[in-house]
Amino acid sequence: MKQYKKNINLNLIKINYTYSISGICEDFGKHKNTVDKWIREEGLKTIDNKRPRYVHGKDLKEFLTKRQASKKTKCKIGELFCLKCQSSRRPQDNLVEIFIKNQKRGNLKALCSICGGRINQIFSIKKLDDLQKVFAVKELHNQHLIEWFPSSSNCDLKQGANFLNNNNKKNNKND
């Protein structure tokens, strides 16, 4: 059974190219009935009403850009996106857990205040202080990943190299 893609990489659409319905299906992993629905109900423009139907790449790209942008939800400060509710929600009791992934990114995890489902959000470590002011942090995991300590091994190497250089100079003077 063929797998169909939910989102299309819009950079793969050639705007100066003419696509047939079957070409759209093959190139972008969509079913023929989906593309027909786009034309009938959602306003995807065809070149003319004759068969076989063709779509300009420019029209296809504009249509899909608007379609994908309309599905995106921008979360306000203090809100996370709930997949069950399909909208932005505040965490239950404003309580979150923070998981640090690396030195640049982290993940907020909480429970939805409406349905009780899990809600997540990826964030930049630069915004960690702001998030801690907005939310009540239940637990901060992997904090050691963002703490910075100067490396003592590099200092030791430099000191060791200086010690060797100084000893070599003294030995050369004695010769």
What's the full length of the chain, in residues?
A: 175
Between residues 144 and 113, the one the model is more confident about: 113
Judge whether residue 15 has pLDDT over 90: yes
Mean model confidence pLDDT for the chain: 82
Question: Does residue 147 contact residue 130 with C-beta atoms inside 8 Å?
Answer: no
Domain coordinates of the chain in residue numbers? 10-70, 80-145
Instruction: Give me the mean pLDDT over the 50-68 stretch.
Output: 93
Taking the C-alpha atoms of residue 67 and residue 43, their distance in angstroms, rounded to an integer, is: 10
Structure tokens at 130: 């702001």
Q: What is the pLDDT of residues 20-53, one digit of tens each?
A: 999 999 998 899 999 999 999 999 999 988 889 9
Q: Report the C-alpha gap between 141 and 109 in whole angstroms.
A: 11
pLDDT at 105 over 80: yes
With cut-offs at 50, 70 and 90, classify the pLDDT of residue 151: very low
Q: What is the per-residue pLDDT across 65-102, written as a single tens digit (0 to 9) for each?
A: 999 888 777 888 888 888 888 888 899 998 999 888 88
Of the two residues 39 and 162, the one the predictor is more confident about is 39
What the block records as the tokens of 93 is 């009791």
The CATH number of the structural domain formed by 10-70 is: 1.10.10
Q: pTM for the complete prediction?
A: 0.55
List, in sequence order, every residue forming a beta bridge with 41; answer none if it has no partner: none
